[in-house]
Structure 1
Amino acid sequence: MANPIVSRAELAVGANPMTVKGVVQKTSILLGLSAITGLGFFFYALAAGLSRGFITIAAFGSMFAAFGLAIFITFKPQKAKTLAVPYALLEGVFLGGISLFFMRMYPSVPVTALCATFVTAAVMLGMYRSGVIKVTEKFRSIMMSAIFAIMILYLVQWGFIAFGSSLPFLFDGGMIAIGFSLFVVVIASFSLLLDFDNVERGVAMGISEDYEWLFSIGILATLVWMYIEFMRLLSYLQD
């Protein structure tokens, strides 16, 4: 399993095995909850005139809380069924806040990024189903290395931000930053192929349907990552 949320999980075979349909249904539920929460927070913040500082705290507080839940679920996959809805709601608040942040600087970016995310997801699904790109063990290994390298860079960047600085070149909006952002968008997009393959492997192994929530959380996390990276890339290009 390649999604970090799924990769360390010890999954159990059950009497009622998971199905692709079940994962799709649960992913749709989580996406719907995130969208409703995100739009609700977005329009409430606009209507109430919430300060930029409050929105930032709410958005990034939710992001770190969601990240904490994801880490917990990674080591306690049996809790995914219970924590899936709270995770989706936290992601929704984060998405609403970060979308408002980008919209105030670049009004067209959030909608464009949302369209790009779902179009890319559809293309990735088509490529996976048609076998244009096959998820081999080598492909999986390369993707995992790239994903963890990006995660480490982001953690280092957050450390720099905490001290009022930033990693040179990678996040300054210049040509190197655009190239790096485009690379991350590609990696995030290809991560969906791993998510699709994870689901098929889970179905083939007869994993219990309770873990459908785990795979749905993984897909939601990938889509959120894609959306954020598309917004970052588009904002760089507008600059």
Structure 2
Amino acid sequence: MANPIVSRAELAVGGRPMSVKGVVQKTSMLLGLSAISGLGFFFYALMAGLSSGFIYMASIGSMFAGVVVAFLIMFKPHMAKTLAVPYALLEGIFLGGISLIFMQMYPSVPLTALCATFVTAAVMLGLYRSGIVKVNDKFRSIMMSAIFAIMILYLVQWGFVLFGSSLPFLFDGGMVAIGFSLFVVVIASFSLLLDFDNIERGVAAGVSEDYEWVFSVGLLATLVWMYIEFLRLLSYLQD
């Protein structure tokens, strides 16, 4: 289970079992809440004429608050039912703010990134359901190594940013940065296959339906990651 939110959670078996339909319904609800809060913040910031600095700080603040909530869900999965909605709202604010910042620089990028995210998600679901891509132990091992390597690079990048710098080549918009961003988009996209497989494994194991929220939050996190990576890649291509 490469998705950290799911892989770290200890899911209980018993009671009424979870279902794929239940996860789909909860994921749809969380996506709807994220869209509402994201669009709300987007248009409020636009109409109120908020400064880019304030929008950026609000977005980053929401992102870190969302990370804290995700860690709580990770280590306290029984709290997912309570924390899923706040997590979705925080992610929405983060996405709304970041999308507005990108739109001010590259007007067509946010909508293109959004379409690319959902089209890619549909393609990944089709690949998974058709069995063209098999989620086996080797696939999981490769994906987990790639995801954790990317996470470490991003943590190092944040450290550089705090000191007003950046990792050489990987985030400067050049050809190496475009290649790296494309690689991360591919890894984020294939992470959806792991999410789909995790859900099927949870259903097969008879995990309690209360933990459908954990899988839904995991799916939302992957989709948010995909969208952000598409934003980054498309902005590099615009430059």
Structure-2-length-normalised TM-score:
0.99
Q: What CA deviation, in whole Å up to 9, does each residue of 1:162-209 have, x standing for no partner?
A: 000000000000000000000000000000000000000000000000
**Structure 1: which 5+ residue stretches go unaligned?**
none
Letter matched to residue 185 of structure 1: V
CA–CA distance in structure 2, aligned partners of residues 74 and 3 of structure 1 = 10
Aligned partner of residue 135 in structure 1, secondary structure: coil
**Structure 2: which 5+ residue stretches go unaligned?**
none
Alignment root-mean-square deviation, CA: 0.5
Equivalent residue number for residue 4 of structure 2: 4
- Report how many residues are paired: 239
Contact 1:181/1:229 (<8 A) preserved: yes
Equivalent residue number for residue 104 of structure 1: 104
Equivalent residue number for residue 194 of structure 1: 194
Equivalent residue number for residue 157 of structure 1: 157
Equivalent residue number for residue 69 of structure 2: 69
Aligned partner of residue 11 in structure 1, secondary structure: coil
Q: CA deviation at 1:107?
A: 0.2
CA–CA distance in structure 2, aligned partners of residues 228 and 15 of structure 1 = 37
Equivalent residue number for residue 31 of structure 2: 31
CA–CA distance in structure 1, aligned partners of residues 217 and 141 of structure 2 = 21
Q: What CA deviation, in whole Å up to 9, does each residue of 1:20-75 have, x standing for no partner?
A: 00000000000000001000100000000011111011100000010111112111
Equivalent residue number for residue 54 of structure 1: 54
CA–CA distance in structure 2, aligned partners of residues 48 and 148 of structure 1 = 39
CA–CA distance in structure 1, aligned partners of residues 123 and 28 of structure 2 = 18
Contact 1:2/1:198 (<8 A) preserved: no
Letter matched to residue 192 of structure 1: L
| Percent identical | 84
Contact 2:2/2:147 (<8 A) preserved: no
CA–CA distance in structure 1, aligned partners of residues 160 and 143 of structure 2 = 26
CA–CA distance in structure 1, aligned partners of residues 148 and 119 of structure 2 = 25
Q: CA deviation at 1:109?
A: 0.1
CA–CA distance in structure 2, aligned partners of residues 76 and 150 of structure 1 = 25
| Runs of 4 or more above 2 Å deviation | none
Letter matched to residue 136 of structure 2: T
Q: Map of 1:217-228 to 2, 5 A cutoff?
A: 217-228=217-228
Equivalent residue number for residue 238 of structure 2: 238
Q: CA deviation at 1:15?
A: 1.4
